[in-house]
Chain A
Amino acid sequence: DADVTQTPRNRITKTGKRIMLECSQTKGHDRMYWYRQDPGLGLRLIYYSFDVKDINKGEISDGYSVSRQAQAKFSLSLESAIPNQTALYFCATSDPQGDGNTIYFGEGSWLTVV
C-alpha cells in the first residue's frame, strides 16, 4: 500500500459544486500538507497542519478549507468550485524529528472544474 493515499485520483466537477479531496497516510507523521500544481508554476501550499489541533493557511488558501480528522487523515474542500481551481492537487506528509524531514507525496488528484 502507498504511504500517502489520495482520493479521488481524477474528478470533473461543475462550477459552484462542493468537492472534497481526501488524504490518508500510514507513516504516522504529524505534519500534513495540501499543495496545488499548475503548469509552469512550482507547487504552492494551500494549507498545512503540524498536528491534529493545528491548521494553518498557506500561500493560496482562498476558496479552500481543510479538516484534520485524525493524525492520519487530512481532507481538502472546495466549497464552491470555480474553473481556475482546475489543477493537480497533492497531499504530503513529513516528520522532522522521526524521519529526517523526508517528505512523502500522494499520487495526486487531477481536478477539472467546468
Chain B
Amino acid sequence: KNEVEQSPQNLTAQEGEFITINCSYSVGISALHWLQQHPGGGIVSLFMLSSGKKKHGRLIATINIQEKHSSLHITASHPRDSAVYICAVINFGNEKLTFGTGTRLTIIP
C-alpha cells in the first residue's frame, strides 16, 4: 500500500462543476502540499497546509490531521483547470516528501 493515496485517479467533468480530489496518507506528517502539473510537465505548488483550510481564488484545500486526509476543491471549474493534481506529504522527522501518483483532471467546455 502506498503511503499516499489519491482518488480518483482520473476525473472528467463539465465546465462549471464543483470538483473534489482526495488524498489519504498513512504516515505522520508535518505538512502537506497540493501541486499542479500541466501537460507541458512543469509542476507548481498550489498550497502547503498543516491544519485547517486554505483558499486561493477558486481553489480550496482542507486537511484533517486526525483522519490523515486532505481534499482539494475547485469551484466553477474551467477547461484551464485541466491538469494533473498531486498530493505530497512532508514526513515528520526526516522532512522528506512522499508523493501520490496524481489525479488527472479534464474539464470539458
Q: Mark A78-106, 1 if CB is under 8 A from B, else 0.
A: 00000000001010000010001111111
Q: Count of chain B residues with Cβ under 8 Å from any Cβ of A?
A: 23
- A102 contacts B43, C-beta separation under 8 Å: no
A11 to B10, CA, bound (A): 29
Chain B's nearest CB lies how many Å from the CB of A2?
A: 9
A19 to B31, CA, bound (A): 35
Q: A42-B100, A42-B102, A96-B95 are in contact. Are A108 and B42 (CB under 8 A)?
A: yes
For chain A, the count of residues having a C-beta within 8 Å of the partner chain is 22
B40 is an interface residue with CB less than 8 A from chain A: yes
The digit string for B27-59, where 1 denotes a CB below 8 A from any CB of A, is 000010101000011111100100000000000
- B65 at interface (Cβ–Cβ under 8 A)? no
A43–B90 alpha-carbon span in the complex (Å): 13
* A43 / chain B contacts, CB cutoff of 8 Å: 86, 88, 97, 99
Do residues B41 and A88 form an inter-chain contact, with CB atoms below 8 A? yes
Interface centre among A42, A48, A58 (most CB of B within 10 A): A42
B residues 73-109 with Cβ under 8 Å of A?
Answer: 86, 88, 90, 95-102
Contact with B along A27-70 (1 / 0, CB 8 A): 00000010000001111110010000000001000000000000
Task: Kindly identify which residue among A45, A90, A104 contacts B96, using a CB–CB cutoff of 8 Å.
Answer: A45
Subset of 9 A-B contacts with CB under 8 Å: A33-B97, A42-B101, A42-B102, A101-B90, A102-B45, A103-B33, A103-B45, A103-B88, A105-B43
Residue positions of A touching B, CB distance < 8 A: 33, 40-45, 48, 58, 88, 90, 96, 100-108, 110
